[in-house]
Chain A
Amino acid sequence: GQQVMQIPQYQHVQEGEDFTTYCNSSTTLSNIQWYKQRPGGHPVFLIQLVKSGEVKKQKRLTFQFGEAKKNSSLHITATQTTDVGTYFCAGQAGGFKTIFGAGTRLFVKA
């Protein structure tokens, strides 16, 4: 069945360092979404990418969707302590079901 793999599982950074999480699907995706879950909280939608090669930015966050629509990345420039949490990618391969990656947990040391 369809799988969405996300790496790394954990990332510890010093405040001000950059951070990247990667998402890879076993099948071509119709779209990919990114969510953030703060510690003790619930996932909150960040962004959706639909087009092949699409790049979107939200302040210090840059999201990319691969040309083959099978991989995606989230890059945070100059991390801050407010960036702490778990980042999930979620892919849809057409149809109804959304498959979530296992998430990357980001720790930021001040």
Chain B
Amino acid sequence: DGGITQSPKYLFRKEGQNVTLSCEQNLNHDAMYWYRQDPGQGLRLIYYSQIVNDFQKGDIAEGYSVSREKKESFPLTVTSAQKNPTAFYLCASSQTPASGNTIYFGEGSWLTVV
């Protein structure tokens, strides 16, 4: 099936640790995104990538890093510099970066700091 696969679905992190969330899409989309959602809140853009080997910071990039070495993959690393990382993380993609393209979301990853 075509879609976006995020893993793991649930992740526990100890304070001071870096963790990496995986995101793979087989939709052949050029653009990929990472959003953070806190309970009962909206979506905040962390990073986005319009094309392979290129990415830009979103509204809340501090404490996060990404890479886009392959078109289908856009992993997100939550670093120890992110002071409040407990949240629901959503990876998404769209066909192109152009205006008007539908954004497709993965099922999300729940990250909890213990």
Residues of A within 8 A of B (CB): 6, 30-31, 33, 35, 41-45, 48, 50, 88, 90, 92, 94-98, 100-103, 105
B50 within 8 Å of A by Cβ?
yes
Report the minimum CB–CB distance from A55 to chain B (whole Å): 18
* B contact face: mostly helix, strand, loop, or mixed: loop
Report the minimum CB–CB distance from B27 to chain A (whole Å): 13
Q: Which of B42, B50, B102, B104 contacts A101 (CB 8 A)?
A: B42
Known A96-B98, A102-B41; contact A42-B103, beta-carbon cutoff 8 A: no
Interface residues of B in 19-77 (CB under 8 A from A): 31, 35, 40-43, 45, 48, 50
Query: Are the CB atoms of B99 and A44 closer together than 8 Å?
Result: no
24 contacts between A and B (CB under 8 A): A30-B99, A41-B107, A42-B105, A42-B108, A43-B43, A43-B90, A43-B103, A43-B105, A44-B105, A45-B103, A45-B104, A50-B100, A88-B42, A88-B43, A90-B103, A92-B99, A96-B31, A96-B50, A96-B97, A98-B103, A100-B43, A101-B42, A102-B41, A103-B43
Q: Could you tell me how many residues of chain B have their Cβ less than 8 Å away from some Cβ of chain A?
A: 21
Residues of B within 8 A of A (CB): 31, 35, 40-43, 45, 48, 50, 90, 97-100, 102-108
Query: Are the CB atoms of B90 and A45 closer together than 8 Å?
Result: no
Residues of B within 8 A of A42 (CB): 90, 105-108
Known A43-B43, A43-B90; contact A30-B105, beta-carbon cutoff 8 A: no
Residues of A within 8 A of B42 (CB): 6, 88, 100-103
Report the minimum CB–CB distance from B85 to chain A (whole Å): 19
Residues of A within 8 A of B99 (CB): 30-31, 92, 94-96
